[in-house]
């Protein structure tokens, strides 16, 4: 008799519900969960191929020290001893954790508690820094806290959906399916896609704006000015619930038509059509993703968008609001429990003494870190220059995914002590580890994740742990115990950790009502096993559901008002005669991150089987390229060799290369080796778009 288990897809931030079926012969099938509010039974190509990625080929099954199998006791003792010794000799900031949006919230919670609470350093950061930290920073500047004001249903209810820096069709496919279905059912709905490339998402667009890379701030500042000059401003909302309108408006500059056209690369008629649509449509949702976030001006871009929604009061009501799309399955869960170096658990602020005191008392953690730690790019710089002497990397592959990836690889090679917890034995990163710790993968591990609309769902195990693989939270708790912090890490299950996290979120009712999931603070194992998807908040004593915030104000700045923020444009990388092309990186439909999982599925690899560079036909002609020729791309930081895909979907002077392939899958394919390690000054998010590169024909097809 087959067993059915309800769980959650481990890929993108849509967070689709999955029903996994395990047959008597051990075979696994998957289908969409019709009851899950994120997907109502839908799955995309990646989600529906999950069963094809579960074989044990290449799995890391046992702990290893210097390539030799050891037992868990020896491995955990070694990690604890090396971290303790390094801290004793060089202080707590000489060690670091680099974690991942692939971790479950419970794993994240324990990692953050160990590093910030008991080791006493802020040096824990996450690969989510690479995908959405500019949105977090933008939310905090505008709202006073990192709250997502709306929900997926808003995309279906809106009369105008703006997708900027988001290839929703490929990167959040089920949400795209929901949007496309709503558009088909509601002819009055309009979709605007703002992207230098004409992606598949643009196929449903009424207006595609092929914006110049990093032209977003100018476009939305221009829109802000246009709205201010029109009747669309909601003066009652602005005066009752916001501050800084006049200052931000003044800072937006004059932005005459010629300036706007130059800054955005758009025809003024296109800009005017966009402005008119926004001005005249009440129900507007603006979705943004990596094309906005991954920029030296990522946070300003986010705030330029939010300014337009605050000015019109179009926020927190059905079909209205700015909406940040998270990339990873649990980027949001990491935000909830302090996975970012500049945050504490429960959305509390490490730079506020009262917040630190609250967490210190709740955890019984006198050594709690007193300042933010190093964000991802700075963390690997500190590994490179020797300030960090021991690093534990969990569930991520920075040698492929970090900017200036060759330098990250060199840093790990030189680091005195590198621990990697992963499901795979051989990745570009594990080969530089002194110690490997085998982790549970999807279908084996057990905990919660939070999607882009704040919905917490269970990931449930339905397969036995392979070899000696163990949960990441267990590994962390065991090391914490061995470092002498026993009582604080005496967890026996993920449900205990979730309950503690829920308890902290509602601790002392610290005025953080929107993050409070205290209703689950006493959850026991049976109720945890039965936990149904829910959106935060759910404070103690309530079963209420809050799907939207801020329709009536109630922001988190001390005066309860949102802030308009003066947003300035920034340019990531300047073109030159030596590096005349603008490179944008991104994803393809059927692969996920560095392909350690999707690379196992022949079906998924059949969609696009090798790395490529999209290039406009005129640029290809000038370079003497024929279709499928090999192209060498270079920046001052590195080189990649990929195949030419000549297409008019690409704007002239721009190149697009997916970020998935590593040198394991194709020679010289790590595109992040070309990306400079420069970041948004507010969020610390790397600028993985708008990179200046050269291109030349390398070899014929």
Give the 3-state secondary structure percentages of the chain, helix then strand then coil, rounded to 5.
Answer: 35, 20, 45
Query: Which one of 39-47, 184-192, 343-351, 603-611 is the stretch in contact with ligand SF4 (CB under 6 A)?
Result: 39-47
* Among 19, 20, 43, 499, contact with ligand SF4 (rule: CB under 6 A): 43
d(CA 599, CA 587): 14
Site for ligand SF4 in 200-259 (CB under 6 A): none
212 Cβ contact partners less than 8 Å away, ≥ 6 residues apart: 196, 263, 264, 265, 266
Query: Which one of 44-52, 57-65, 187-195, 578-586 is the stretch in contact with ligand SF4 (CB under 6 A)?
Result: 44-52
Nearest CA to 224 among 197, 253, 203? 253
* N-terminal to C-terminal alpha carbon distance within the chain: 52
Measured from the CB atom, the residue of 174 and 504 that comes closer to ligand SF4 is 174
* Among 44, 148, 202, 519, contact with ligand SF4 (rule: CB under 6 A): 44
Query: Which one of 117-125, 148-156, 170-178, 340-348 is the stretch in contact with ligand SF4 (CB under 6 A)?
Result: 170-178
Q: Cα angle at 305 between 303 and 307, to 5 degrees?
A: 65
Measured from the CB atom, the residue of 39 and 86 that comes closer to ligand SF4 is 39
DSSP helix/strand/coil, 138: helix
For every residue of 450-469, DSSP letters joined together read: E-TTSEEEEE---SPPPTT-
d(CA 420, CA 76): 12
Nearest CA to 305 among 323, 290, 319? 323
Measured from the CB atom, the residue of 11 and 550 that comes closer to ligand SF4 is 11
Query: Which one of 40-48, 340-348, 362-370, 503-511 is the stretch in contact with ligand SF4 (CB under 6 A)?
Result: 40-48
The nearest distance, CB 153 to ligand SF4, in angstroms, is 16
The nearest distance, CB 168 to ligand SF4, in angstroms, is 10
- For 563, half-sphere exposure in the C-beta direction (CA atoms, 13 angstrom radius) is 19
For every residue of 50-70, DSSP letters joined together read: GGGG-S-TTB--S-EETTEE-
The nearest distance, CB 686 to ligand SF4, in angstroms, is 23
Query: Which one of 7-15, 235-243, 438-446, 478-486 is the stretch in contact with ligand SF4 (CB under 6 A)?
Result: 7-15
d(CA 675, CA 402): 8
- The kind and range of the H/E element at 78 are helix 72-90
Q: Which residue is nearest to ligand SF4 (CB)?
A: 47
* Among 7, 20, 33, 47, contact with ligand SF4 (rule: CB under 6 A): 47
Measured from the CB atom, the residue of 45 and 493 that comes closer to ligand SF4 is 45
For every residue of 568-620, DSSP letters joined together read: ----SS---SSS-EEEEEE--TT--TTSTTGGG-HHHHHHS-S-EEEE-HHHH
Measured from the CB atom, the residue of 39 and 594 that comes closer to ligand SF4 is 39
88 Cβ contact partners less than 8 Å away, ≥ 6 residues apart: none
The nearest distance, CB 33 to ligand SF4, in angstroms, is 10
The nearest distance, CB 278 to ligand SF4, in angstroms, is 27
Query: Which one of 42-50, 353-361, 384-392, 562-570 is the stretch in contact with ligand SF4 (CB under 6 A)?
Result: 42-50
Query: Which one of 167-175, 264-272, 665-673, 687-695 is the stretch in contact with ligand SF4 (CB under 6 A)?
Result: 167-175
d(CA 368, CA 394): 22
The nearest distance, CB 51 to ligand SF4, in angstroms, is 13
The nearest distance, CB 604 to ligand SF4, in angstroms, is 11
Which structure tokens are listed for 437? 């710790």
Measured from the CB atom, the residue of 8 and 401 that comes closer to ligand SF4 is 8
d(CA 381, CA 419): 17
Measured from the CB atom, the residue of 169 and 651 that comes closer to ligand SF4 is 169
Query: Which one of 38-46, 140-148, 293-301, 677-685 is the stretch in contact with ligand SF4 (CB under 6 A)?
Result: 38-46
The nearest distance, CB 159 to ligand SF4, in angstroms, is 24
Residues binding ligand SF4: what is the number (CB under 6 A)? 14
The nearest distance, CB 16 to ligand SF4, in angstroms, is 3
The nearest distance, CB 41 to ligand SF4, in angstroms, is 11
d(CA 84, CA 19): 43
The nearest distance, CB 63 to ligand SF4, in angstroms, is 30
The nearest distance, CB 262 to ligand SF4, in angstroms, is 37
Nearest CA to 341 among 124, 538, 507? 124
Q: Answer yes or no: are the C-beta atoms of 644 and 612 closer than 8 Å.
A: yes
* Among 6, 20, 37, 46, contact with ligand SF4 (rule: CB under 6 A): 46
d(CA 572, CA 691): 7
Q: Answer yes or no: are the C-beta atoms of 491 and 497 closer than 8 Å.
A: yes
Which structure tokens are listed for 239? 């005066």
Is residue 325 involved in binding ligand SF4 (CB under 6 A)? no
Measured from the CB atom, the residue of 5 and 575 that comes closer to ligand SF4 is 5
Q: 638-641 long-range contacts, Cβ below 8 Å, gap at least 24?
A: 638/404, 638/405, 638/406, 638/670, 638/673, 638/674, 639/668, 639/673, 639/674, 640/611, 640/668, 640/669, 640/670, 640/671, 640/673, 640/674, 641/667, 641/668, 641/669, 641/698
The nearest distance, CB 592 to ligand SF4, in angstroms, is 7
Nearest CA to 665 among 590, 586, 595, 585? 595
Is residue 149 involved in binding ligand SF4 (CB under 6 A)? no
Measured from the CB atom, the residue of 14 and 162 that comes closer to ligand SF4 is 14
The nearest distance, CB 18 to ligand SF4, in angstroms, is 7
- For 676, half-sphere exposure in the C-beta direction (CA atoms, 13 angstrom radius) is 19
Is residue 674 involved in binding ligand SF4 (CB under 6 A)? no
Measured from the CB atom, the residue of 173 and 319 that comes closer to ligand SF4 is 173
The nearest distance, CB 177 to ligand SF4, in angstroms, is 8
d(CA 9, CA 415): 34
The nearest distance, CB 176 to ligand SF4, in angstroms, is 8
Q: DSSP state, 118?
A: I
Measured from the CB atom, the residue of 54 and 174 that comes closer to ligand SF4 is 174
Query: Which one of 43-51, 140-148, 263-271, 527-535 is the stretch in contact with ligand SF4 (CB under 6 A)?
Result: 43-51
Site for ligand SF4 in 9-28 (CB under 6 A): 9, 11-12, 14-16
Measured from the CB atom, the residue of 329 and 684 that comes closer to ligand SF4 is 329
Site for ligand SF4 in 171-190 (CB under 6 A): 172-174
* Positions in the binding site for ligand SF4 (CB under 6 A): 9, 11-12, 14-16, 39, 43-44, 46-47, 172-174
């Amino acid at each position: 008799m087959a067993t059915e288990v309800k769980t959650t897809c481990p890929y993108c931030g849509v967070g689709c519900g999955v029903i996994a079926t395990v047959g008597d012969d051990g075979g696994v099938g998957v289908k969409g969960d019709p009851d899950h509010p994120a997907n109502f039974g839908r799955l995309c190509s990646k989600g529906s191929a999950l069963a094809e990625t579960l074989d044990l080929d290449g799995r890391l099954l046992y702990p290893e020290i210097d390539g030799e199998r050891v037992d868990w006791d020896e491995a955990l003792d070694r990690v604890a001893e090396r971290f303790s010794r390094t801290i004793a000799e060089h202080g707590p900031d000489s060690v670091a954790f680099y974690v991942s949006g692939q971790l479950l919230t419970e794993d994240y919670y324990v990692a953050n508690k160990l590093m910030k609470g008991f080791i006493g350093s802020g040096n824990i950061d996450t690969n989510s820094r690479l995908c959405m930290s500019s949105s977090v920073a933008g939310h905090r500047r505008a709202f006073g806290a990192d709250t997502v004001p709306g929900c997926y249903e808003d995309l279906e209810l809106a009369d105008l959906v703006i997708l900027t820096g988001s290839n929703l069709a490929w990167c959040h496919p089920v949400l795209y399916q929901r949007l496309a279905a709503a558009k088909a059912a509601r002819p009055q709905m309009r979709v605007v896609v703002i992207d230098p490339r004409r992606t598949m998402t643009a196929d449903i667009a009424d207006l595609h704006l092929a914006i110049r890379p990093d032209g977003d701030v100018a476009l939305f500042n221009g829109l802000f000015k246009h709205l201010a000059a029109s009747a669309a401003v909601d003066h009652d909302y602005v005066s009752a619930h916001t501050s800084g309108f006049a200052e931000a408006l003044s800072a937006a500059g004059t932005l005459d038509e010629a300036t706007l056209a130059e800054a955005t690369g758009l025809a003024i008629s296109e800009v005017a059509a966009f402005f008119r649509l926004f001005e005249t449509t009440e129900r507007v949702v603006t979705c943004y993703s990596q094309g906005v976030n991954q920029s030296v001006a990522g946070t300003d871009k986010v705030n330029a968008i939010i300014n337009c929604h605050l000015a019109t009061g179009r926020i927190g009501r059905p079909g209205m609001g700015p909406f940040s799309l998270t990339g990873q399955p649990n980027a949001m869960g990491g935000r909830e429990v302090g996975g970012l170096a500049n945050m504490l658990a429960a959305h509390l602020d490490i730079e506020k003494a009262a917040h630190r005191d609250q967490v210190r008392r709740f955890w019984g953690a006198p050594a709690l870190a007193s300042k933010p730690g190093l964000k991802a790019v700075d963390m690997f710089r500190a590994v490179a220059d020797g300030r960090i002497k021991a690093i534990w990397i969990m569930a991520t592959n920075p040698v492929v995914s970090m900017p200036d990836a060759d330098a990250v690889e060199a840093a790990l090679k030189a680091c005195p002590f590198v621990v990697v917890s992963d499901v795979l034995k051989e990745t570009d990163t594990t080969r530089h580890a002194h110690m490997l710790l085998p982790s549970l993968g999807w279908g084996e591990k057990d905990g919660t994740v939070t999607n882009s609309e704040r919905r917490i769902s269970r990931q449930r195990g339905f397969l036995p742990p392979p070899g000696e693989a163990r949960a990441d939270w267990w590994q962390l708790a065991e090391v914490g115990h061995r470092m002498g912090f026993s009582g604080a890490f005496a967890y026996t299950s993920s449900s205990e950790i979730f309950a503690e996290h829920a308890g902290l979120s509602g601790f002392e009712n610290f005025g953080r009502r929107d993050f409070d999931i205290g209703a689950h603070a006493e959850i026991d194992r049976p109720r945890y096993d039965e936990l149904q998807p829910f959106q935060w908040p759910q404070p103690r004593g309530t079963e209420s559901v809050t799907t939207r915030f801020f329709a009536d104000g109630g922001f988190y700045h001390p005066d309860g008002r949102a802030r308009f923020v003066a947003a300035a444009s920034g340019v990531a990388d300047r073109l030159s005669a030596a590096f005349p092309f603008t490179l944008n990186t991104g994803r393809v439909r059927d692969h996920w991150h560095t392909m350690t999982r999707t690379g196992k599925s022949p079906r998924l690899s059949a969609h696009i089987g090798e790395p490529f560079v999209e290039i406009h036909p005129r640029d290809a002609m000038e370079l003497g390229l024929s279709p499928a020729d090999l192209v060498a791309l270079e920046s001052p930081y590195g080189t990649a060799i990929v195949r030419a895909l000549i297409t008019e979907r690409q704007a002239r002077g721009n190149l697009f290369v997916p970020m998935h392939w590593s040198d394991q899958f194709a020679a010289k394919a790590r595109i992040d080796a070309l990306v400079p390690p420069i970041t948004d000054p507010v969020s610390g998010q790397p600028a993985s778009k708008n990179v200046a590169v050269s291109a030349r024909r390398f070899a014929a097809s």
